[in-house]
Amino acid sequence: MAQSLSTSMISSSSCAFLAPTKLDSRPQSVSLQVKRVGVCKCVATPQEEKIAFKTMVSRNANIAKLQAGYLFPEIARRKAAHLLKFPDAQVISLGIGDTTEPIPKVITSAMEKRAYELSTQEGYSGYGAEQGEKPLRAAIASTFYRDLGIEESDIFVSDGAKCDISRLQVVFGSNVTMAVQDPSYPAYVDSSVIMGQTGQFQKDVEKYGNIEYMKCSPENGFFPDLSTVARTDIIFFCSPNNPTGAAATREQLTQLVQFAKSNGSIIVYDSAYAMYMSDDNPRSIFEIPGAKEVAIETSSFSKYAGFTGVRLGWTVIPKELLFSDGFPVARDFNRIVCTCFNGASNISQAGGLACLTPEGLGAMHQVIGFYKENTDIITETFSSLGFKVYGGKNAPYVWVHFPGQSSWDVFSEILEKTHVVTTPGSGFGPAGEGFVRVSAFGHRQNILEACKRFKQLYK
């Protein structure tokens, strides 16, 4: 509406909130005097403002401490917004670490067989042992922990390492102190916050109070200077690391175990990427002497066999691991498992058992080899463009340095200009600022196309 007009003609049919009169069905126009304004808005004013019913239950104050959304749902939200803006864009997702290649048939055949047996009277089974089926626990022990003194009874089969991280937090309770690698998988920090182990988020340093952030950077070889790390009850440690891809050496893990022993701490060791290891580094924390007295190990079939949707993992808690009063940690974890969990799917466990046959192991190594070829392609691409690149050799992630730039800004630029989804490094902790994680989980043609777009952007 022009500024010079002092009157306005408003048609009753031009506004959804002005219903036609029932007294006269003829079209009518009504002339109204209005003030001299730039815009005339038609606003519905409800006769009665509706107030939502509220319970008298207080929100969990610990959950209220969490910042924004969990990293990967936030990335998914931004991807969805990008697709609304560019509906015809061919978006390639190299952000969340989700596998893309089919599960080998030797594994799915075993699951198919088990599923069919459930339709027969003889083959049907209901609840299983909360700790997992004995044949699978025995196979995990003999495959991954042979000659390390880990027994079948030390292994708890689950629906994934991520779930076990939260169950372990329930075991530890709210009165423990926590240390994490920085950067690290966000679930460690977020579960600590939810359990009430932390203080408030400190925006000036991008950290939660009462968490010990163990900085891992190119300058220290992505292994923390333990002489500067304060004593905590629990130490979360992932090797090969997500997101940096760095793998700790035998000497470094020996230092970590000694550090935990001298402080009376417990290490929660995440070995979800151990089969990606190329170097002669430990695949398990239990390769280090004395680790059984201070460490728990959690792992998964997700990134080995494509089980991200099938859901199957395990946690190892040795009998030697004791609380300060001498009570076995495994017994408390067993109680939590029996209370909060009814055991992993029997179909998934059949697949897990097939994974650990000679044929299944060979098939998993082939899939892992495929993803490692993807990491080589991504690494070579960014290196050729002059970027400092880390990871890739021992993990399916490439950690690319963009010095002086915001990780989220780089994420947004790459998405906007190449339609490729990555992961901002700052989402893994303050030490991840200035980095972007590029996942090697993807079909080969998508990896090649993404790298072509990277070259066009940064040439």
Q: Are strands 313-316 and 266-270 parallel, antiparallel or unpaired?
A: unpaired
The CATH class of 105-360 is alpha beta
Q: Residue 32 belongs to what H/E stretch? A: strand 29-33
* Rounded average pLDDT over 237-241: 98
* Rounded average pLDDT over 20-39: 42
Question: Do 381 and 408 touch, CB atoms closer than 8 A?
Answer: no
* Rounded average pLDDT over 73-84: 92
**pLDDT at position 47, please?**
59
* d(C-alpha 90, C-alpha 292), whole Å: 49
The pLDDT-based confidence of 48 (bands split at 50, 70, 90) is low
Question: 159 pLDDT exceeds 70?
Answer: yes
Classify residue 242 by burial, with Cβ atoms within 10 Å: 0-12, 13-18, 19+. buried
**pLDDT at position 96, please?**
87
**pLDDT at position 51, please?**
80
pLDDT digits (tens, 9 = 90+) for 335-365: 999 999 999 999 999 999 999 999 999 999 9
Question: Do 367 and 441 touch, CB atoms closer than 8 A?
Answer: no
Question: 313 pLDDT exceeds 70?
Answer: yes
In whole numbers, what is the pLDDT of the chain averaged over residues?
91
**pLDDT at position 229, please?**
98
Question: 388 pLDDT exceeds 80?
Answer: yes
The pLDDT-based confidence of 269 (bands split at 50, 70, 90) is very high
* Rounded average pLDDT over 123-130: 96
The SS3 of residue 299 is: strand
* Rounded average pLDDT over 311-339: 98
The SS3 of residue 455 is: helix
Identical topology for domains 69-101+361-458 and 105-360: no
Question: 2 pLDDT exceeds 60?
Answer: no
Output the DSSP codes for 195-255.
Answer: TT-S--EETTTTEETTEEEEE--GGGTTS--GGGPPP-SEEEEESS-TTT-----HHHHHH
pLDDT digits (tens, 9 = 90+) for 409-440: 999 999 999 999 999 999 999 999 999 999 99
Nearest one of 407, 432, 414, 86 to 246, comparing CA atoms:
432
The DSSP letter of residue 3 is T
* Rounded average pLDDT over 158-185: 98
**pLDDT at position 255, please?**
98
Question: Do 440 and 398 touch, CB atoms closer than 8 A?
Answer: yes
Give the residue extent of every domain in the chain: 1-43, 69-101+361-458, 105-360
**pLDDT at position 21, please?**
39
Would you say domain 69-101+361-458 falls under CATH 3.90.1150.10? Answer: yes
The pLDDT-based confidence of 456 (bands split at 50, 70, 90) is very high
The SS3 of residue 295 is: strand
* d(C-alpha 374, C-alpha 322), whole Å: 42
**pLDDT at position 72, please?**
85
**pLDDT at position 127, please?**
96
Which range has the worst mean pLDDT, 34-38, 345-349, 391-395?
A: 34-38
**pLDDT at position 67, please?**
84
**pLDDT at position 46, please?**
55
* Rounded average pLDDT over 138-145: 98
* Rounded average pLDDT over 165-181: 98
Question: Do 428 and 437 touch, CB atoms closer than 8 A?
Answer: yes
Output the DSSP codes for 301-324.
Answer: SHHHHT-TTT--EEEE--TT-B-T
